[in-house]
Amino acid sequence: MTRQIQEIRNGNRHGPVSSFVNSANVTELNPFVLWDHFYLPHVEGTAGFDFHGHSGVATISYPQIGDIGHEDTGGHSGMLKAGGVQIMSAGAGVLHKETVYPEKRVADAFQLWVALPANNQEMGPVTYSTLKQQDIPILEADGAKTKVVIGQFQDKKSTAQPPVDMTYLHVNLEAESEWQHLSHKSQTTAFIYVRHGSIDTGGVHLSAGELGIFEKGTEALAVNSSTQKAEFLLVLGAPLDQEIISNGASVHSNKTNLIAGVQKIQQLHSHGISQI
């Protein structure tokens, strides 16, 4: 038996960003609280987001075309090259800036947010885990190339350090092929996003730009391509046993921590940026 799709989303587009998981449905895919696809086909110069704050959440950036420069009020800075992945856990609060450097005027990136566990990370320090493209494991078999961005697929395991029990896979599937994944028993939350082509999975047909949410469970996931190649991203995770409260930029397990996170961000806006 395979897990079925219970909902299809087309996303809410605002500017170059299409949002599929956001503050309006923040609890439905616990522990995932945001999924954005950032796409700019004609960029003059650079693009991006000036200094803004987060707390209680980890942001997972995965650029496909173009690089992302980042710096924050914790003293961290660097360049995430296309194809690499970066996990930034905001902890008790941080301001950061992301500058997108397009490739031939095109920028294409995904960002996933994960709620931080309340026991030690939600109000903890800012931490990073980054992998370059060449360090992401790949398994090629049976007409499929599977990049293990986070977690494990068959015998390939990523060294990226996520804040929660999760798997993040990026799959290129040849035409008329089938791909399967048996999820970990704890990872009952799962969604799939089609980047190119179309697929059949969980009893439905999904086309490029559509996100499918699997029903809760641990059954195997099966994906079939049609007469053309397909490319998709699959994300699975173990739900956190805690409340999820969001004001958009911050995600916390209770109102006390949310207020503290907002106050920390406000303090950094007043004093932190000048310290970089």
Query: pLDDT tens digit string along 199-240?
Result: 999 999 999 999 999 999 989 999 999 999 999 999 999 999
Q: Which strand (E) or helix (H) includes residue 206? A: strand 204-207
Q: Which of 270, 272, 271, 262 is nearest to 55 (CA)?
A: 262
Average pLDDT over every residue of 64-69: 96
What integer best gives the mean pLDDT of the chain?
94
- Give the span between the Cα atoms of 243 and 266, in whole angstroms: 24
Query: Which helix or strand (DSSP H or E) is residue 265 part of?
Result: helix 255-271
Instruction: Kindly report the CATH number assigned to the domain that includes residue 231.
Output: 2.60.120.10
How many alpha carbons fall within 13 Å on the CB side of residue 106? Answer: 6
Give the count of beta carbons closer than 10 Å to the beta carbon of residue 275.
9
Phi then psi dihedrals of residue 261, to 5 deg: -65, -45
Where residue 43 falls among pLDDT bands split at 50, 70, 90? confident
Quote the pLDDT of residue 15. 81
Q: Residue 120 pLDDT more than 60?
A: yes
In whole angstroms, give the CA distance from residue 191 to residue 169.
11
pLDDT of residue 119: 87
Can you tell me the distance from the alpha carbon of 222 to that of 200, in angstroms, rounded to the nearest whole number? Answer: 8
pLDDT score recorded for residue 276: 38
For the chain, the residue count is: 276
Using alpha carbons, select from 160, 177, 149, 172 the residue that is nearest to residue 235.
149
Tell me the average pLDDT across 28-33. 96
| pLDDT level of residue 272 (50, 70, 90 thresholds) | low
Does residue 21 contact residue 35 with C-beta atoms inside 8 Å? yes
Question: H helices then E strands: how many in the chain?
Answer: 1, 26
Tens digits of residue pLDDT in 87-104: 999 999 999 999 999 999
Name the residue range of residue 192's domain. Answer: 5-275
Q: How far apart are CA 229 and CA 92, in angstroms?
A: 43
* In the predicted structure, residue 22 carries a pLDDT above the cut 90: no
pLDDT the model gives residue 274: 45
pTM: 0.95
The string over 63-102, giving b where at least 16 C-beta atoms fall within 10 Å of a residue's C-beta and e elsewhere, is: bbbbbbebbbbbeeeeebebbbbbbbbbbbbbbbbbebbb
Averaged pLDDT, 59-68:
97
CB contact at 8 A, 183 and 225: no
What tokens appear for 81 in the block? 């090259």
Domain count, the chain: 1
* pLDDT value for 273: 56
Residue type, 262: V
